[in-house]
Amino acid sequence: MSDVTGSEYSSEHMFAFSDKRPALSDDIRAAIRPVTLAKTKTLPVAEPWRSLLPDGGLRRGATVGVQSPPGWGGVSVALSLLSEASAKGHWAAVVGVDDPGVVAIADLGLDLRRVLFVPRPRGAWAESAADLVDGVDLLIVRPPSRPAHAAARNLMDRVRERGTVLIALTEPVAPWPLPVEVSLDVTHTEWVASSRLESRSLTVRVGGRGAAGRGAERVLVVPDRRGRAVAS
């Protein structure tokens, strides 16, 4: 018993939070991730989305389906969902959006230093997305054709396990084959234009398993005159 006061039991070894923790090797540091508490399990979203999404943010491990006819603003909607989290320092990746307009993405508020683009994964979109799930917190996937059931299932499982947020961007002719936590469908689009394109108002129908106001339709302005997403 008297040994406890001996020299090898200094306070240094008794507390986990002492400075002298073992240095982790780079491989381990890349593989592990910090413990996340319930509070940090949602990633923040910008204002127009905060009132629309069930948890007031993007819940880690969830899949959000964004569906829009081509050219009706699906890309803008998906990207604007990322803006707040990206600006707060989370990594994001965009798979399958060919030739992304970088200026528009910067205007929406994303931090381009932490966005990876995979513009043309061709047949390997599911594998590419699966690779990225391990590396980023937010992932936009636009499948080049109607996604296969199994590929979608695998990706959603992986997303749930790793705590990433998946945003599946599809068109009505080739919808996402599985039910998603939150679905955002663009049902109407209208440009406001004077001597140039100024802004676009989108009608978005919110649905999905855990959605608060299921079936509610909201009007958003994406992009506005400064290229951002705002509530109308």
Partner 1 sequence: MERLLALWIEELSVEQADGSSLRSLVAVLDALVSICPFVEPIRLGFITMPIRGPSRFFGGDDAVMDAVAAAVRDVTGYEVSLGVAEGLFCAELAARQRTVVPAGGTRLFRHVQPLAVLGHKELTTTARRLGLVTVGEFAELAPARVAERFSRTVQVLHRVARGELYELPAQRDKQLLARLRTARGEDVRAEEQMGFFGQRSASDDRAQAAAHRLRHRLGVDGVLVADVRGGRSPDDRAALVPWGAPRAAARDEAPWPGQLGSPAPTTSFRYPVRVEVLDGDNQPVRLGVRGAMTGTPSVLVLERGVRRRITWCAGPWLFIEQWWAAPRRRAHAQVILETGEAMLVTTEGGQWWLTGMYD
54 vs 83 by CB, closer to partner 1: 83
* Residue 103 binds partner 1 (CB under 8 A): yes
Hey, is 181 helix, strand or coil?
Answer: coil
Q: How many whole angstroms separate alpha carbon 82 and alpha carbon 73?
A: 15
* Residue 127 binds partner 1 (CB under 8 A): yes
Question: What are the distances in angstroms from CA 82 to CA 17, 115, 197, 229?
Answer: 34, 10, 24, 11
* Cβ atoms 64, 167 nearer than 8 A: yes
* Residue 135 binds partner 1 (CB under 8 A): yes
* Residue 60 binds partner 1 (CB under 8 A): no
7-26 positions binding partner 1, by CB under 8 A = 26
105-124 positions binding partner 1, by CB under 8 A = 105-107, 112-119, 121, 124
Hey, what are 183's tokens?
């679905």
Closest approach, Cβ 186 to partner 1, in A, equals 10
Enter the DSSP assignment of 16: T
Element holding 167 (H helix, E strand): strand 165-170
112 vs 174 by CB, closer to partner 1: 112
Q: How many whole angstroms separate alpha carbon 175 and alpha carbon 115?
A: 25
Q: How many whole angstroms separate alpha carbon 212 and alpha carbon 151?
A: 28
Closest approach, Cβ 131 to partner 1, in A, equals 5
Closest approach, Cβ 75 to partner 1, in A, equals 4
CA nearest neighbour of 204 among 24, 22, 67 = 67
User: What is the gyration radius of the CA atoms in the chain, in angstroms?
Assistant: 21
* Residue 100 binds partner 1 (CB under 8 A): yes
* Residue 192 binds partner 1 (CB under 8 A): no
Pick one of 72, 82, 167, 182: the residue that binds partner 1 (CB under 8 A).
Answer: 72
Closest approach, Cβ 208 to partner 1, in A, equals 22
User: Binding residues for partner 1, per CB under 8 A?
Assistant: 26, 29-34, 69-76, 79, 89-91, 93, 97-107, 112-119, 121, 124, 127-128, 131-132, 134-137, 189-191, 193, 195-200, 223-227
